[in-house]
Amino acid sequence: MRKLTAALAAAALAAVATACGTGNGGGGTGALTVWLMDGSAPQEWLDELNAAFEEEHGVRVDVEIQQWDGIQDRVTTALSEDGTVDVLEIGNTQTVGYAGTGGLAGLSGLEDEPWNEPMLASARLDGTLYAVPWYGANRVVVYDRAIWREAGAEVPATRKEWLRALETIEENTDAEPLYLPGRSYYVMGGFVADEGGGFAVEEDGRWKGALNTPEGEAGMAFYARLHSFSDAPADNDEASPQQSTEIVPNRPVASWIGLGWEAAAAIEAIGERGQEADFGYFPVPGPTADRPGHVFLGGSNLAVSERAGDRELAEAWVRTATSARWHQRFVDAYDGGVVPARTDVTARPAEGSFAEAMVASADAGYLPPLTGGWSYVETEPNPVKDLMTRVLNGADYRTAAAEADTEITARINRD
């Protein structure tokens, strides 16, 4: 999540946010200290927001830009101390974990805003709101228009049509129809969600792995069918090697599944080779044409520290930053390239852009299990990734999934 959020922002805007002030921490300093992640906030938007807030409330806002590397340790320390931070940005898959430690303040005063429901789920714990959504992002299918024209393939709206298009490309061109690494488990999770399943389920207050199910098997089977059109190894993921810069620019690839920053990186890399990319974009297709396939909806939330110097003022900053007025300006600053956190804010991406396909997918967004223990599951060796590689190499799905579920259950319930 942390990589997705930072990278999306870097691709969406050329300007990278920098600190608005040095600050000495929150509480008792006459300033409000806000931690935002490198690349998350458009600078002009941030400057104008803080100028308006400072004028209204008579307090200085010190924004301290944080790097993603090592951020979990820094946030954990900051939330255990007085006077370090008042407002902070947190990755949406990390929010529940921090809330569970008691480090985040409840935000009941912001309950009634028109939040994007899939994004809002990541901000709650046991019915209490501990953060609010800020923005989201998800993957789409990136395709080479020239190769698809050569093959006579049509942009699909369903899984069946998608497979037919890949078959057409395979039959009529020398290009790789779809580059799909064997271990892109967030992509596979979307197919499981299409079937009504998930990585894990909660029963009687305890989580357990849920891949050894008909839904899990069907999702993995579709992933394997797609992977049959790819030359990617079964033991690689999308970052090793980096698909956008190390694979796509170096061989004829008809399509791949990626994020906005990856599409931008691929365009740049192709340009450096003296060529011009001609990409089109479409949502990951679902089983039927009336709804796109499920996609992992990454993003960031805004939270208030339980130890904030002035929690009421900190909540006021969050309320202002995510208000309809300021959030619309935030989304517009990204040219519609982020998924809005509010239903009364509209993304207005350019026709035919990556952002247009991404926003069209947002209502089918899904999240992994919202529990602090999920971070242990994602730690390498990731049992979901290992399951995928084993199955793609011919292992029996049920046997491999049962072993993966045992490992997921053991990890996800750790304190």
Q: Which CATH architecture has domain 2-137+297-351?
A: 3-Layer(aba) Sandwich (3.40)
Can the peptide bond before residue 287 be classed as cis, meaning omega within 30 degrees of 0?
A: no
How far is residue 59's CA from residue 55's CA, in Å, rounded to a whole number?
A: 8
Which residues, other chains included, contact 78 with Cβ-Cβ below 8 Å and sequence gap of 6+?
A: 35, 84, 85, 88, 305
Round the average pLDDT of the chain to a whole number and report it: 90
Between residues 227 and 26, the one the model is more confident about: 227
State the pLDDT at residue 151: 98
State the pLDDT at residue 29: 55
Closest CA to 239 of 295, 294, 177, 181: 181
Within 62-132, residue ranges assigned H as helices are 71-79, 95-100, 117-120
How far is residue 132's CA from residue 164's CA, in Å, rounded to a whole number?
A: 41
State the pLDDT at residue 68: 80
Summarize the confidence of residues 175-200 as an average pLDDT. Answer: 97
Within 208-247, residue ranges assigned H as helices are 214-227
Residue 15 has pLDDT above 50, yes or no: no
Indicate where the chain has its CATH 3.40.190.10 domain(s): 2-137+297-351, 140-295+367-412
Summarize the confidence of residues 387-399 as an average pLDDT. Answer: 98
Q: Which CATH architecture has domain 140-295+367-412?
A: 3-Layer(aba) Sandwich (3.40)
**Lowest-pLDDT choice from 15-29, 187-201, 343-357, 371-385:** 15-29
Residue 8 has pLDDT above 70, yes or no: no
For residue 46, the Cα-to-chain-centroid distance in whole angstroms is 22
**Lowest-pLDDT choice from 103-112, 193-202, 275-284, 335-344:** 335-344
State the pLDDT at residue 388: 98
pLDDT one-digit tens code per residue, 107-133 = 999 999 999 888 898 999 889 999 999
Which residues, other chains included, contact 265 with Cβ-Cβ below 8 Å and sequence gap of 6+?
A: 11, 242, 244, 245
Q: At what angle do helices 2-12 and 260-272 cross, to 10 degrees?
A: 60
Q: Is 292 helix (H, G, I), strand (E, B) or coil?
A: coil
Q: Which of 12-21, 62-71, 163-172 has the highest mean pLDDT?
A: 163-172
Residue 28 has pLDDT above 70, yes or no: no
Beta bridge partners of residue 209, listed in sequence order: 200
